[in-house]
């Protein structure tokens, strides 16, 4: 299986993809839009996308893309994320003038970064991409927040491990594929989670009424979030439901909701989380994955 992900080799999305399918090869993509395009165009069988972090919150761009693009969610993965501060060999922390990383990673390490005196914090497109840039351009006095594996891939030295603000820092990823391939990716695993998005008229009690269709049927809503719809001061509501779409209670709830929601879309119905118990920097993972991941470049 070829899995598309955003970033460079050593990115956390790649590690999440390896949890989903340990035998997969990987296709690095510059942007989240490129992951969707690779799957839609048949260049990759599926794509792995981060959607939420336990410290930094929601990755809103991917929620927007899930609405806009015709790829259903077929699985979710939770990955413990342990950030390291990386730099060229021989660099000391007191030598640093700049630190680069993805905005989400910087947000997850805010407390540590505030402790660095006189260091400019610079947002970049990717964690592992920041490590790659330092190596390729031989940037002295510049650090990257990324995974231990990214440091090993690009020959950087670890100045400090575990710089995230919370030890249980975790990112949730979803796997997307073409509609025609969805059943094969789910296989015979129980489908016990559904993600939907809908709009509501701006009238008193509209959200209460929408949530009541699930409460009346004892369906657990595990996540709710609103996002701008694209029209001023109008919003879309994203819900995660702890039930499969084909359960009769879910079917009736969605039918009820559709009676008064101007728009409603099921983004996916899929088996709930595949948890990772190991840090992404574990040496045995790195050694086992290097050859496979190189094949997807």
Per-residue pLDDT at 16 exceeds 80: yes
- pLDDT exceeds cutoff 70 at 111: yes
- Reply yes or no on whether the pLDDT at 278 is more than 80: no
Q: What's the pLDDT score for residue 295?
A: 43
Judge whether 1-80+169-187+272-297 and 84-167 match in fold: yes
By mean pLDDT, which of 63-72, 159-168, 202-211, 281-290 is the weakest? Answer: 281-290
Q: Is 128's pLDDT higher than 50?
A: yes
Burial of 167 (0-12, 13-18, 19+ CB in 10 A): exposed
Residue 233: pLDDT band (50, 70, 90) is confident
CATH topology of domain 1-80+169-187+272-297: D-Maltodextrin-Binding Protein; domain 2 (3.40.190)
Of 36, 64, 48, 55, nearest to 225 by C-alpha is: 64
Whether the predicted pLDDT of 91 surpasses 90: yes
The CATH classification number of 190-270 equals 3.30.70.260
**The model's pTM:** 0.86
Residue ranges of domains in the chain: 1-80+169-187+272-297, 84-167, 190-270
**111/163 Cα distance (integer angstroms):** 9
- In degrees to the nearest 10, what's the CA dihedral of 32, 34, 40, 44? -100
Q: How many CB atoms lie within 10 A of CB 172?
A: 20
Catalytic residue list = 171, 173
Q: What is the pLDDT of residue 281?
A: 44
The DSSP-derived string for 126-189 is -HHHHHHHHHHHT-TTEEEEE-HHHHHHTTPEEEEE--SSSTT-EEEEEEEE-GGGHHHHHTTS
Whether the predicted pLDDT of 68 surpasses 80: yes
Q: Tell me: the pLDDT tens digits for 150-206?
A: 999 999 999 999 999 999 999 999 999 999 999 989 988 899 999 999 999 999 999
Task: Please state the φ and ψ torsions of residue 291, each to the nearest 5 degrees.
Answer: -65, -40
Q: Which pLDDT score, from 0 to 100, does residue 274 have?
A: 53
How many Å apart are CA 18 and CA 25, to the nearest integer?
8
pLDDT tens digits, 250-260:
999 999 999 99
Q: What is the DSSP letter of 39?
A: H
CATH of segment(s) 84-167: 3.40.190.10
Does residue 289 have a pLDDT over 80? no
């Amino acid at each position: 299986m070829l899995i598309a992900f955003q970033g460079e080799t050593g990115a956390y999305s790649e590690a999440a993809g390896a949890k989903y399918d340990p035998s997969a090869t990987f296709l690095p993509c510059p942007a989240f839009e490129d992951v969707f395009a690779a799957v839609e165009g048949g260049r990759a069988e599926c794509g792995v996308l981060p959607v939420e972090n336990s410290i930094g919150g929601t990755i809103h761009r991917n929620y927007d893309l899930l609405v806009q693009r015709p790829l259903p969610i077929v699985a979710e993965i939770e990955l413990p994320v342990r950030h390291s501060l990386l730099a060229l060999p021989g660099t000391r922390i007191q030598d640093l003038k700049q630190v680069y990383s993805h905005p989400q990673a910087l947000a997850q390490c805010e407390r540590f970064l505030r402790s660095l005196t006189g260091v400019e914090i610079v947002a970049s497109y990717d964690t592992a991409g920041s490590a790659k840039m330092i190596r390729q351009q031989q940037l002295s006095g510049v650090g990257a927040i990324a995974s231990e594996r990214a440091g090993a891939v690009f020959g950087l030295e670890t100045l400090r491990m575990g710089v995230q603000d919370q030890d249980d820092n975790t990112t949730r990823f979803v796997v997307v594929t073409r509609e025609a391939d969805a059943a094969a990716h789910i296989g015979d695993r129980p489908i016990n989670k559904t993600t939907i998005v809908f709009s509501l008229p701006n009238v008193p009690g509209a959200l209460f009424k929408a949530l009541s269709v699930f409460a009346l049927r004892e369906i657990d809503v595990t996540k709710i979030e609103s996002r701008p719809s694209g029209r001023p001061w109008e919003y879309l509501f994203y819900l995660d439901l702890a039930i499969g779409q084909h359960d009769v209670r879910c079917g009736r709830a969605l039918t009820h909701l559709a009676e008064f929601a101007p728009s409603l879309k099921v983004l996916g119905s899929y088996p709930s989380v595949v948890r990772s118990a190991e840090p992404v920097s574990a040496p045995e993972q790195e050694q086992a994955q290097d050859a496979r991941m190189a094949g997807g470049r």
